[in-house]
Amino acid sequence: SQQGEEDPQALSIQEGENATMNCSYKTSINNLQWYRQNSGRGLVHLILIRSNEREKHSGRLRVTLDTSKKSSSLLITASRAADTASYFCATLNNAGNMLTFGGGTRLMVKP
Amino acid sequence: DAGVIQSPRHEVTEMGQEVTLRCKPISGHDYLFWYRQTMMRGLELLIYFNNNVPIDDSGMPEDRFSAKMPNASFSTLKIQPSEPRDSAVYFCASSPSGGRNQPQHFGDGTRLSIL
């Protein structure tokens, strides 16, 4: 089974609203990364949070990490139609040689 | 900067045929990864290379799949013979060395359909 599991699997919101996606994982990690995938394109790296960090910001993105609960969340504030995409979390194992992706959250932002 | 370049973007072929997917990583990146994405199984790591050497091929589904990296700027993933269940989007990604906190850069994938 996949290391990371995103929740919800699909999310539909109106432009301007905030979008929150969650990721849970099973084993200890070195870091956790979030990627975005637009339809028909490859994944694009958004943000990386190390296991000793609890929160990180990048523009309209806010990521939290709770290693005690083995979970992370990605918040996109003031969403735009252009944010419509699938979002994946990926965990890097402690050996640093394996990045495992979750199943993704499909986000639709309606104009 | 040119990103990771994959070719072809789309491939449709009949089962039993040999399929070769190609990847040019970002110049200077030491790591190269091949992934497969399907609706059922999500994104799966097939194999990765470091400095052109295969490090972990445990994700390669079976002997019909093989991957090579003859030099730092080129890699191939070959399926021979192909089967309908190999239909998927295949991604190549690369990342620089310098520790564990380097993101992976993905190409736009090859959409493979085996009839």
- Asked if A111 is an interface residue toward chain B (Cβ–Cβ < 8 A), one would say no
In this structure, are strands A19-24 and B19-24 parallel, antiparallel, or unpaired? unpaired
pLDDT tens across B76-88, in order? Answer: 999 999 999 999 9
Contact A30 B100 (CB under 8 A): yes
CA B28/CA A63 separation, integer angstroms: 29
Contact A99 B109 (CB under 8 A): no
Contact B103 A43 (CB under 8 A): no
- Asked if A101 is an interface residue toward chain B (Cβ–Cβ < 8 A), one would say yes
SS3 string, A24-89, reads ECCCCCCEEEEEEECCCCCEEEEEEEECCCCEEEECCEEEEEECCCCEEEEEECCCCHHHCEEEEE
The 3-state DSSP class for residue A91 equals strand
pLDDT tens across A46-96, in order? Answer: 999 999 999 999 999 999 999 999 999 999 999 999 999 999 999 988 877
Which residue in B21, B24, B43 has the most chain A C-beta atoms within 10 A of its own C-beta, making it the best mutation to test that interface? B43
